Amino acid sequence: MNYFVKGNPDLCIGCRTCMIGCVVVHEGKHIFEIDPDSYTFHPKLHMVKTARLSVPVQCKHCENPACMAACGVNAIYQEDHRVLIHTETCIGCKACMDACPFGAIDMVTVAGVRQKDGSEKKVANKCDLCQGVAGGPACVRVCPTQALTLVTEEELEDLAKRKRMESARSTFCEVYHCDEFSYGGRE
């Protein structure tokens, strides 16, 4: 099963530390040494704020990705519990962006790469769960309020299990006069 990073609006304070953490880990720490205009700042997650909600939104790493199905050049693939974009192959057709039901993909320029006509190359950009980065997704690590968590298969199953327990308890507890269901049982 693919993993994904989930934001919790009860904990999020909208500070966007996650967005910078994302750029720093993908561009590399050398950005603090170079010309400030020679790298690109394209976070792979976005802070969404409405009247009463603040939460970062990013790719859900779907099991049957609409973006992958829509891609005409096979630039999107699944590997190591995640959905990835091969940016060298990407031709910037925006079909994935259009297909994604969550708005998790945007089109960004690639720093320093020019196309034949001199224009900047543009490719699809989205969360890659910090592939190859020790310690896992940077957004999760830098968030000051622990509002982001990496959801793995085990955690997801555990969550579902807890919810089933809760559902059973609220439905039957009064009838069977028991306060607690224990884990283990027939689950």
Binds other proteins by CB under 8 A, chosen from 3, 4, 5, 19:
19
| Residues contacting other proteins: total by CB under 8 A | 31
Closer residue to other proteins (CB): 32 or 172: 32
List 150's β-bridge partners, or say none.
5
What CA–CA distances, in Å, run from 117 to 3, 31, 43? Answer: 39, 28, 27
Cα–Cα dist 180/37, whole Å: 59
Contact between 102 and other proteins by CB under 8 A: the answer reads no
Cα–Cα dist 62/76, whole Å: 12
CA 13 to chain centroid, in Å, comes to 18
Q: Which two structure tokens, joined as six digits, stand for 126?
A: 């989205």
CB of 47 to other proteins, least distance (A): 10
Quick note: the x/- pattern for other proteins over 47-76, rule CB under 8 A, is --xxxxxx----------------------
CB of 54 to other proteins, least distance (A): 6
CB of 128 to other proteins, least distance (A): 19
Confirm if 3 and 156 have CB atoms less than 8 A apart.
Answer: no
Interacting residues with other proteins (CB under 8 A): 10-17, 19-21, 23-24, 29, 31-33, 35-37, 41, 49-54, 142, 144-145, 147
